[in-house]
């Protein structure tokens, strides 16, 4: 085993690798950029080396700086994590040339499998099913049209290099193909410096299934079962689980067999993942192979009991596999949610800011891999992934319940995240049925909101939680105003009955609260339903609340906003207004007028850098027309016009750093 390794990464994956290194007694050296000097992974590493500026190209993508950091600290090996240089064959070779061990596959395997067309050729040679298509670069539009006629529509244009969905286009008809091909080439050229595009038949509503493999230097290859990664947004996974509800024992064995065959064909070593798309419950096709550890590896670890990072280190240090096909046993079910700095209500645009409050769920069978803490600053320079929350259960239903409860109690303040969006997915009826596909989010959510209203009981639970907090806060305020007398004993608790009217958006609830003020047991009626509730000892202000309702435990996040309470539960977010019956009656007599003001500005939807301005002052524009392009968190986005109108003044320039809601341009009155 190595004495010391360098981790060529940041954030939660760096923290996760450090954890295994510390358990094994392996020294862990971190590298960090100007933006990450206060990050948790820097503090937790045994040593840390500053390697450059905030931009990834100045630090984490600087091959020479990373290798020099490893050499200067006496490391024997480099672990690339995922992202950045993890699938860069040139970097892997440079590590080897420096006399260090690259904790991953050989550079030749990275190069072959990183080229989507070359990997298809290898897959076919290994007997792996591939999607029908044209697996050579398209020469021109004429060839593209000929291939489209042969393969059939819809089809998918894909770049030979890169990943993350960049440069991919779904083409539904022959007329769309020329423009789509031009757009693909331009996007992939800018993202990867490579214009090669190939074509596959587009499989509608597929599932995304991947097989985790381990391979040593002695020819041993083993698969560790599948992961279901169908719930995605813009080709980025959101929820992952193992096993898949759609994969039978027979299908698992066959997918595992061909995944291992592919690894042997290319001379693969270390950990890797072979990705497939599953059509129906039987036909599967090779998608690609990721030559690194996957973000979602914790779910495999939870059901197998294996530490994949430990196996990576042992394989790289020359040890044979300690597991084989006969002794890998999967136990139970595991589900993971990716927690990202993004705003589901604003088209999942990246968010930035400082984490002002942070509390992780601490529940049995819950694992949190996090790269943040209170005081962490989330910038525009890196990927939006903050943390992952994974849960284990004996069954899928149990794993879902454990994870849903954990997300209800995951508290991140200071910036908007997708915690509650992930929770809404977990609680959606289609997810509970296991009815999954890669268009799950597009099919069931609009602007980050589920297509089905929340169950009445879910809203009832939120109502009784907010009413209890409201009542206890007011009681504590009253007690604090009473005269203090050491000679007067506390009066015995008496039965309390309180009535309230609660409004949340368009819903109005009638509530009756029965119990003793200093007792923890309550009977609460919400409309026509009555619930027995056991509450904890209340503090003056609670942000997380654990209630036992009719014998079952539920976690809520609560936040005062003026005189109202914002509640988060089961993916639902509501602001609750609480009134006494008399107060409610008075509010019904108060009419408020509203005035609609037309917006005459284009505001920035997220922080980032302006990369292009595609209009000039005086230009007549239409609602939805792209006016400005910007880059944030490795993603380039167009900003559309909010209205029909004429551009008056442009207030930014290419290269400007901008913040959320900053005015970019104005329209003439």
Compute the distance between CA of residue 258 and CA of residue 209 in angstroms, rounded to an integer.
13
**DSSP state for residue 333 in the 8-state scheme:** E
Rounded (5°) CA angle 260-265-269: 65
The per-type count for the chain, helices as H runs and strands as E runs, is 17, 41
Indicate the length of the chain as a whole number: 669
For tokens 């970019």, what's the residue? 664
For tokens 């690609």, what's the residue? 288
C-alpha distance from residue 140 to each of 158, 182, 279 (Å): 15, 10, 30
Compute the distance between CA of residue 108 and CA of residue 100 in angstroms, rounded to an integer.
17
Of 288, 296, 301, 336, catalytic: 288
Instruction: Please name which of 363, 316, 382 lies closest in space to residue 53, comparing C-alpha atoms.
Output: 382
Rounded (5°) CA angle 419-423-427: 170
Contact of 611 with 637, CB cutoff 8 Å: no
Q: What values do phi and psi take at 263, rounded to 5?
A: -60, -40
Compute the distance between CA of residue 527 and CA of residue 119 in angstroms, rounded to an integer.
61
CA 209 to chain centroid: 17
Compute the distance between CA of residue 116 and CA of residue 121 in angstroms, rounded to an integer.
9
**Residue 288 bears catalytic tag:** yes
Compute the distance between CA of residue 452 and CA of residue 390 in angstroms, rounded to an integer.
25
Instruction: Please name which of 418, 425, 422, 409 lies closest in space to residue 358, comparing C-alpha atoms.
Output: 409
Helices (H), 449-591: 456-480, 581-587
Longest C-alpha distance within the chain, in Å? 96
- 211 forms bridges with which residues in the sheet? 226, 274
Contact of 403 with 366, CB cutoff 8 Å: yes
Instruction: Please name which of 225, 200, 206, 72 lies closest in space to residue 138, comparing C-alpha atoms.
Output: 200
For residue 21, what are the contacts with CB-CB under 8 A and spacing of at least 6?
5, 27, 28, 313
C-alpha distance from residue 157 to each of 121, 169, 606 (Å): 17, 5, 29
Contact of 299 with 227, CB cutoff 8 Å: yes
Instruction: Please name which of 85, 199, 97 lies closest in space to residue 141, comparing C-alpha atoms.
Output: 199
Q: Take residue 614 and report the two structure tokens written for it.
A: 């595609």
CB atoms within 10 A of CB 285: 19
Q: How far apart are the first and last CA of the chain?
A: 70
Compute the distance between CA of residue 540 and CA of residue 542 in angstroms, rounded to an integer.
7
For residue 484, what are the contacts with CB-CB under 8 A and spacing of at least 6?
none
Contact of 507 with 459, CB cutoff 8 Å: yes
Compute the distance between CA of residue 427 and CA of residue 330 in angstroms, rounded to an integer.
25
Contact of 508 with 502, CB cutoff 8 Å: yes
Compute the distance between CA of residue 100 and CA of residue 448 in angstroms, rounded to an integer.
46
Q: Burial letters for 473-487: b for 16+ Cβ neighbours within 10 Å, e otherwise?
A: beeeeeeeeeeeeee
Compute the distance between CA of residue 554 and CA of residue 548 in angstroms, rounded to an integer.
6
Active site residues: 288
């Amino acid at each position: 085993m190595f004495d010391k390794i360098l981790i060529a990464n940041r954030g939660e994956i760096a923290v996760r690798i450090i954890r295994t290194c510390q358990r094994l007694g392996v020294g862990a050296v971190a590298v960090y950029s100007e933006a990450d000097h206060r990050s948790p992974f820097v503090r937790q590493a045994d040593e840390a080396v500053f390697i450059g500026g905030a931009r990834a190209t100045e630090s984490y993508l600087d091959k020479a700086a990373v290798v020099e950091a490893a050499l200067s600290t006496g490391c024997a090996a480099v672990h690339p994590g995922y992202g950045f240089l993890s699938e860069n064959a040139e970097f892997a070779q440079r590590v080897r040339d420096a006399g260090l061990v690259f904790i991953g596959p050989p550079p030749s395997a990275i190069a072959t499998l990183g080229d989507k067309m070359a990997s298809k050729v290898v897959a076919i040679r290994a007997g792996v099913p591939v999607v029908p298509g044209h697996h050579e670069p398209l020469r021109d539009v004429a060839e593209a049209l000929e291939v489209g006629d042969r393969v059939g529509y819809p089809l998918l244009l894909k770049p030979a290099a890169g990943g993350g969905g960049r440069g991919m286009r779904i083409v539904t008809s022959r007329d769309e193909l020329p423009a789509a091909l031009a757009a693909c080439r331009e996007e992939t050229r800018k993202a990867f410096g490579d214009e090669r595009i190939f074509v596959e038949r587009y499989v509608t509503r597929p599932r995304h299934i991947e097989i985790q493999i381990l391979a040593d230097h002695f020819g041993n290859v083993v698969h560790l079962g599948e992961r279901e990664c169908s719930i995605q947004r813009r080709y980025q996974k959101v929820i992952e689980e193992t096993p898949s509800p759609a994969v039978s024992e027979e299908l698992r064995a066959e997918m595992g067999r061909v995944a291992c065959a592919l690894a042997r064909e290319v001379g693969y070593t270390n950990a890797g993942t072979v990705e497939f798309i599953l059509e129906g419950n039987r036909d599967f096709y090779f998608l690609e192979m990721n030559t690194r550890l996957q973000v979602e590896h914790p779910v495999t670890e939870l059901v197998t009991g294996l530490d994949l990072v430990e196996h990576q280190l042992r394989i790289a240090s020359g040890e044979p596999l300690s597991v084989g096909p006969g002794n890998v046993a999967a136990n139970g079910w595991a589900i993971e949610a990716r927690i990202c700095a993004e705003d589901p209500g604003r088209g999942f645009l990246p968010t930035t800011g400082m984490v002002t409050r942070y509390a992780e769920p601490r529940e049995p069978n819950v694992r949190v891999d996090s790269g943040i803490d209170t005081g962490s600053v989330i910038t525009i320079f890196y990927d939006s992934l903050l943390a992952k929350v994974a849960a284990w259960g004996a069954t899928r239903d149990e794993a879902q319940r454990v994870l849903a409860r954990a997300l209800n109690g995951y508290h991140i303040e200071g910036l908007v995240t997708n915690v509650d969006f992930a929770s809404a997915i977990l609680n959606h009826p289609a997810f509970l049925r296991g009815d999954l596909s890669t268009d799950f989010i597009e099919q069931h959510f609009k602007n980050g909101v589920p297509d089905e209203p929340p169950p009445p009981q879910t809203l009832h639970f939120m109502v009784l939680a907010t009413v209890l907090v409201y009542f206890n806060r007011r009681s504590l305020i009253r007690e604090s105003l009473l005269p203090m007398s050491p000679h007067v004993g506390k009066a015995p608790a008496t039965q309390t009955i309180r009535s309230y009217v609660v409004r949340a958006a368009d819903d109005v609830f009638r509530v009756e609260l029965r119990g003793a003020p200093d007792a923890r047991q309550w009977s609460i009626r919400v409309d026509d339903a009555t619930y027995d509730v056991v509450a904890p000892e209340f503090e003056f202000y609670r942000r997380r609340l654990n209630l036992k309702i009719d014998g079952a435990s539920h976690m809520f996040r609560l936040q005062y906003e003026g005189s109202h309470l914002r509640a988060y539960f089961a993916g639902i977010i509501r602001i609750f207004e609480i009134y006494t019956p008399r107060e409610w009656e008075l509010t019904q007599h108060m009419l408020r007028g509203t005035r609609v003001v037309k917006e005459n500005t284009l505001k920035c939807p997220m922080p980032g850098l302006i990369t292009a301005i595609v209009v000039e002052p005086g230009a007549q524009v239409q609602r939805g027309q792209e006016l400005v392009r910007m880059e944030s968190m490795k993603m380039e986005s167009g900003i559309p016009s909010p209205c029909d109108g004429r551009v008056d003044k442009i207030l930014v320039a290419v290269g400007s750093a901008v913040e959320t809601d900053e005015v970019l341009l104005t329209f003439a009155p």
